[in-house]
Structure 1
Amino acid sequence: MKPLSVSKNIVSLSEFKARASQMLHEVQNSHHPLVITQNGKAAAVLISPTDFDALTEQARFIDAVEKGLADVQQGRVVADEDLDLEA
């Protein structure tokens, strides 16, 4: 996902409604997120399905690493030699 451009990637809900098809196409092709505002405040962020998949995969990876580090800190580990004996 590419970085946000304030001048190009923040639109009001009414502008999004008027140009939804075009904006969806732009998000899918540019991979820039689109912030949609309502009453002057951020209400939603639109990203492409590819970028969403990448973000969720990254989140799952980070979660797995954090769980592994917690296991190490809690002593919930098996030495390589012991693992070979269990196989």
Structure 2
Amino acid sequence: MGLESRIKPISYVKANSAEVLRELNEGAPPLIITQNGEAKAVLQDAADYYQTQETLALLKILALAKDDIAAGRIKPIEGLGDRIRARARSTASEKSDV
């Protein structure tokens, strides 16, 4: 099934909405919806949408980590426990000063 079979005008979606949703829920690829001959939207199964969003979030985390590495905003894992305990003591003493 080529991509061209997954491009449909909005009138098709309106007339065949139940069938379109059934296909998507059965694993069909996303449907590109056109209006006046131009692609305007993509319709996909909700589970696929959530998976895509999760993947994009992970990619964003990776990109942010790469930026942190490039900018030198990282610390070695060695001594992490000591840094956590020091921060906890600092926070505890700040609270007791209040």
- What is the TM-score normalised by the length of structure 1? 0.86
- Comparing both chains, which one has the higher relative contact order based on Cα–Cα distances under 8 Å and sequence gaps of 6 or more? 1
| Structure (1/2) with the larger helix percentage | 2
Is there any run of 5+ residues in structure 1 with no aligned partner, and where? none
Residue 29 of structure 1: aligned partner: 26
Task: Provide the aligned length of Structure 1 versus Structure 2.
Answer: 84
Secondary structure, in 3 states, of the residue corresponding to 1:43?
strand
- Give the aligned CA root-mean-square deviation in angstroms: 1.5
Larger Rg: 2
Matched letter for residue 76 of structure 1: R
- What is the TM-score normalised by the length of structure 2? 0.78
Percent identity reads: 29
Measure the CA separation in 1 of the matches of 2:16 and 2:28. 17
CA distances 1:17-71 after superposition (whole Å, capped 9, x unpaired) = 1101111110111231101111111111000011101110010000000111111
Matched letter for residue 26 of structure 1: E
